[in-house]
Structure 1
């Protein structure tokens, strides 16, 4: 539950910061004699909403490497590293994508993630714990899962979705804020004291709804990446890898910047499921098993 609260708080903080900048910008434009109509608000919302998401995507590899302290394998130092590079190269070729950078980061829990700005400029990283606790066929399936994320364009799609939702949150909160300010506080231009309070409240409410939509897509693409992993590495190997992950207790321990792209992530039931990045492993295993039948 603590990680869910931190996730929500971080996302809402980003929206509030962007919204505050817009709150300061709009009255300044009005004082300069510039008519800030809904079309102008839309343009500003697109710049702030999409701009932040695109910058995040372009910097995703660098941020991931810095946050996990992962070591990119440029020249394999041992047989394990050579096997990792060769396996990812073979899977990338089969998936029709460019060769991703391959990295290892030091962490005791088994996990892996993929990120990058495009299908031909990606990063696949595995934890040292994954290599220690999994059999080679299971590691191969995990790598195939991450390569499938890249092949499916999940990083770009996730960024575009987040950018569109951020834009809608910024836009709707301001349009509704103007309407409420004029109706309740009788402000002529719709930028009275009530406007800023209403905008902040609406940003929080709409931001929570946007996070639910984003996480719903995140859960769906995990099923799709599992299916892609099964195709590249074998269905039984993919099932075996997920079962092995199911034996690991405790949180996934990935930085939030890459957590949604890890093979393990936040899971839960009830109302908490709406903000979970990954479906339960049991459901993922069942989906693969039913697909085989």
Structure 2
């Protein structure tokens, strides 16, 4: 159903684009606007992962410097039948995560240090399963197509503003002025709403598929609850400076926009949790779900980062300083943010 809804929304946006072009009456301008917007978004499609990771100061990790985190992603990728993605960590106290990359062969997943500090192994597994579901569903491609059409519609609006619908007058089109008004005011707004609706639809699909990958819907439900509560009180400066990145994250990292309405980039968290709880009650987590012991055994190794308290979710505080890249052991190399 979510796939059908996404296809219908994309079809509507395409029809909206063609209708605006017709109303303006500038067929050549419509083609030029679409080509420019397509070129801009094609560049973003091939380079978006690098740009997003760079904007968030993400650092790539592996099984040597983040053994637990890396092992969780590796096991989930195996269960999903996906190539092993590149794994990144972001030095940010706000718990959050996102996936990027143009296809499963060039994918990357990123989590914040706040996510690893505040969530249990099982909850982290639920979150990363959600992100791998985005990779498997090729949501990056879907959102790129959506951005292309939305950008083209907005560009047509700009053309209409500067040209004043002159092309229509030349063609004696009585709808010329209406076309200009639609292009300037209505169409970009409608495109934005459709873009947000598609983003929210993909989140529900990723929740469901992520629960199937790890086989434990309640792990993700618990993680969403913790992340949402922490996001409300922990500021994310990088996301605030680049609000266009907000739809990438599992929970909206920006202040405000908490409601499940036409203007939010994410579904209401309580609605998502309810859907996952219903899924669990119906035994739809998937066969051979991961167990708590499996997650901890497979991820067993020195902790990736030190918890903020003595009894953090990644185990009791060790007697020696943490050996991960964010520890403060003077005998070891300093971490990337030291």
Quickly say closer, same or farther: Cα 1:250–1:52, change in 2 above 3 A: farther
Gaps of 5+ in 1: 1-36
Quickly say closer, same or farther: Cα 1:128–1:176, change in 2 above 3 A: closer
Gaps of 5+ in 2: 1-24, 283-338
Which of 233, 248, 251 is the matching residue for 1:264?
Answer: 251
Which of 111, 132, 143 is the matching residue for 2:128?
Answer: 143
**How many angstroms apart in 1 are the aligned matches of 2:107 and 2:198?**
20
Q: Report the TM-score, using the length of structure 2 for normalisation.
A: 0.64
Contact 2:228 2:251 in 1 (8 A): no
Contact 1:63 1:257 in 2 (8 A): no
Quickly say closer, same or farther: Cα 1:189–1:179, change in 2 above 3 A: farther
Show the counterpart of 1:73. 61
**Can you list the C-alpha shifts for 1:119-148, whole angstroms capped at 9, x where unaligned?**
210110000111111111001111111111
Q: Within 5 Å, which residues of 2 pair with 1:214-293?
A: 214-233=195-214, 234-248=216-230, 249-250=232-233, 253=236, 254=239, 255-265=242-252, 267-269=257-259, 273-292=261-280, 293=282
Contact 1:100 1:124 in 2 (8 A): yes
Compute the displacement of 1:93 (Å). Answer: 2.5
Contact 1:113 1:258 in 2 (8 A): no
Compute the displacement of 1:209 (Å). Answer: 1.8
> What secondary structure, in the 3-state scheme, does the structure 2 residue paired with 1:229 have?
helix
The alignment's C-alpha RMSD in Å is 3.0
Quickly say closer, same or farther: Cα 1:122–1:175, change in 2 above 3 A: same
Contact 1:162 1:214 in 2 (8 A): yes
**Can you list the C-alpha shifts for 1:226-269, whole angstroms capped at 9, x where unaligned?**
11111122112111111222332236733434321111115333
Q: Number of paired residues?
A: 244
Runs of 4+ in 1 over 6 A off after TM superposition: 175-179
Q: Report the TM-score, using the length of structure 1 for normalisation.
A: 0.73
Compute the displacement of 1:115 (Å). Answer: 0.8
